Structure 1
Amino acid sequence: MEPNTIRHQVLFCLQEHATDQDKEKFLQESESVLSAIPYVNKFEVLRQVSRKNDYDYAFSMEFADQTAYDAYNVHPEHVRYVEQVWNVQVLRFLEIDLISL
């Protein structure tokens, strides 16, 4: 990872009533929308396999620097996604933002 690169990870659980089809649709839609937003690099959809925490999934992506990350957060597609998809379907989440030492 380059020195100014930010690795943004979001661990999350979907609503308890979500079916397997709902989950698959959410993951596919999320990848399609979020990975297409400018500034997003190395987008990944991940499934939790450890019993050490109780989150089910994660999104991981990288941003070239803080400016790119800030621009992503206010991008209209990201704002729309959070309001209309994320806030409706996600039960709880944890965000982790990392830079290389």
Structure 2
Amino acid sequence: MITHSLFFRLKYPIGSPEEHTFFNALAKLSTISGVENFTILKQISQKNEFDYGLNIEFENQEAFQTFHQNPHHALFFKIYWPDFVEDCMELDFEKADLVDIPN
């Protein structure tokens, strides 16, 4: 399982029409084949400068690569990301089987 996470701050105020436009476009990425557990997050503390997050899971590296090569993904990042996002951090992780964690 691969977890793809983006944490970001928009150029526009929280609750603005631009914010609404951005998140409607972002949500359409959830329909790309291989996307699992698509979750948009909002910050609830002041521990960092990001207001929002996005978590997506992929079953394997192939699904992860397919997502990144999808034309809808490329178009979103060409049209919306540069005009709407002020700052971001991207994290990509896979499960590390370092210890047995009890259920």
TM interval, shorter chain, is: 0.7 to 0.9
State the alpha-carbon separation in 2 of the partners of residues 25 and 77 from structure 1.
16
Structure 1: unaligned runs, 5 residues or longer: none
* 1:16–1:24 distance in 2 versus 1, CA, 3 Å: closer
TM-score computed with the length of structure 1 as normaliser = 0.86
State the alpha-carbon separation in 1 of the partners of residues 67 and 42 from structure 2.
23
2:22 aligned residue: 26
Q: Output the aligned Cα RMSD.
A: 1.6
Q: Secondary structure, in 3 states, of the residue corresponding to 1:50?
A: coil
2:80 aligned residue: 85
Cα displacement string for residues 60-86 of structure 1 (whole angstroms, at most 9, x for unaligned residues):
110111111111111111001110111
Cα displacement string for residues 3-46 of structure 1 (whole angstroms, at most 9, x for unaligned residues):
xx101110001114676221122112211x21011111100111
TM-score computed with the length of structure 2 as normaliser = 0.85
Identity fraction in percent: 28
Structure 2: unaligned runs, 5 residues or longer: 97-103
Aligned length: 96
Consecutive aligned runs of 4 or more in structure 1 exceeding 3 Å deviation: 16-19
Q: Which has the larger radius of gyration?
A: 2
